């Protein structure tokens, strides 16, 4: 005999109603908090823009003092083994790792009816991507050209999309895992992943260190800001 509860989970009508409730929850949040959301977005984007302008004007268009030396040091480590490792890490830091995990995370939270957590993750991840695109267009910093990269990029350099994407995902996972016994394992693995993705971009010569630092900082501030905005004075693990 079939279980009525299990059967209801597979009922298209029930699934449609759940999706409608999810959408209504998200739209209600945007309706009530859109002004604060824009303030958080601007509060991250404007300092990024100022950081970029400072990098441009610091020495009449020269780089930060640490950019070129750190890139040159990374290039001295080049060999076939590191080439393979860092190309794979770079791929995991965006299209073949971070992006699929972003999608799976948001969908899993939605399917489990964790509306607050799903909204937090979705807004943090999508907003971070939009923030990165906006900052790149505002500053339009060209990629490093100290050597010919084995994995060249053609888009603008500042801030690093890989750094922002990996840091955003890491922060979301750590914040959601913090009340559980998995907090430290998640924090350690996520931190190591973020650092390796950042290093891969330097090793490949497609970003300046200041691009990476700006991406990490912007993602961290943005994600924590969205956390505070979505949950207000609640905790993300509490039921809605």
Output the pLDDT for position 224. 85
| First CA to last CA distance, the chain | 33
Position 193 pLDDT exceeds 90:
yes
> For the residues 103-108, what does the mean pLDDT come to?
92
> For the residues 64-88, what does the mean pLDDT come to?
87
pLDDT digits (tens, 9 = 90+) for 213-231: 889 988 988 898 888 878 7
Place of tokens 């302008």: 53
Output the pLDDT for position 11. 54
Q: Give Cα 109 to chain centroid, integer Å.
A: 17
Which of 153, 27, 204 lies closest to 196 in space, CA to CA? 204
| Between 58 and 140, residue with greater pLDDT | 140
Position 181 pLDDT exceeds 60:
yes
Q: Between vectors from CA 108 to CA 42 and to CA 5, what angle results, nearest 5°?
A: 135
Place of tokens 């970029």: 52
Report whether 115 contacts 25 (CB < 8 A): yes
Output the pLDDT for position 101. 94
Place of tokens 């309706």: 31
Side-chain-side CA neighbours of 157 within 13 Å: the count stands at 23
Q: Between vectors from CA 226 to CA 225 and to CA 232, what angle results, nearest 5°?
A: 90
Position 170 pLDDT exceeds 90:
yes
Give the span between the Cα atoms of 121 and 109, in whole angstroms. 9
Output the pLDDT for position 9. 46
pLDDT digits (tens, 9 = 90+) for 136-169: 887 778 888 888 888 888 888 888 999 999 999 9
* Mean pLDDT for the chain overall: 78
Output the six-digit token pair for 112: 């489990």
Position 237 pLDDT exceeds 50:
no
Give the span between the Cα atoms of 89 and 201, in whole angstroms. 9
Output the pLDDT for position 239. 44
Residues 6+ apart with CB under 8 A from 171: 124, 190, 219, 220, 223, 224
Report whether 203 contacts 146 (CB < 8 A): no
Give the span between the Cα atoms of 106 and 128, in whole angstroms. 14
* pTM for this model (two decimals): 0.74
pLDDT digits (tens, 9 = 90+) for 41-51: 665 656 556 55
Give the span between the Cα atoms of 178 and 174, in whole angstroms. 6
> For the residues 99-124, what does the mean pLDDT come to?
89
Output the six-digit token pair for 229: 């905005």
Output the six-digit token pair for 180: 């559980």
Output the six-digit token pair for 107: 């969908």
Give the span between the Cα atoms of 224 and 182, in whole angstroms. 19
Q: How confident is the model at residue 4 (pLDDT cuts 50, 70, 90)?
A: very low
Output the pLDDT for position 217. 86
Q: How confident is the model at residue 32 (pLDDT cuts 50, 70, 90)?
A: low
Output the pLDDT for position 152. 85
Output the pLDDT for position 111. 85
Give the span between the Cα atoms of 43 and 22, in whole angstroms. 28
């Amino acid at each position: 005999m079939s279980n009525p509860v299990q059967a209801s989970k597979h009922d298209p009508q029930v699934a449609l109603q759940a999706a409608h409730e999810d959408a209504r929850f998200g739209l209600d949040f945007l309706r009530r908090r859109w002004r604060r959301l824009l303030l958080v977005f601007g509060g991250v984007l404007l300092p990024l823009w100022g950081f970029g302008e400072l990098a441009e004007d610091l020495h009449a268009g020269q780089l930060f003092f640490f950019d070129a030396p750190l890139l040159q040091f990374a290039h001295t480590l080049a060999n076939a083994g590191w080439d393979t490792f860092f190309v794979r890490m770079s791929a995991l830091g965006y299209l073949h790792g971070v992006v699929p995990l972003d999608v799976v995370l948001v969908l899993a939270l939605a399917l489990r009816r964790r509306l607050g957590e799903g909204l937090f993750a979705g807004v943090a991840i999508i907003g971070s991507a939009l923030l990165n695109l906006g900052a790149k267009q505002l500053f339009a910093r060209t990629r490093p050209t100290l050597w010919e990269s084995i994995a060249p990029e053609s888009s603008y350099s500042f801030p690093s999309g890989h750094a922002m994407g990996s840091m955003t995902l890491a922060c979301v996972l750590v914040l959601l895992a913090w009340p559980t016994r998995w907090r430290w394992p998640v924090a350690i693995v996520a931190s190591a992943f973020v650092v390796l993705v950042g290093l891969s971009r330097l090793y490949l010569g497609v970003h300046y260190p200041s691009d990476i630092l700006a991406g990490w900082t912007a993602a961290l501030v943005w994600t924590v800001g969205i956390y505070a905005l979505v949950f207000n004075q609640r905790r993300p693990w509490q039921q809605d």
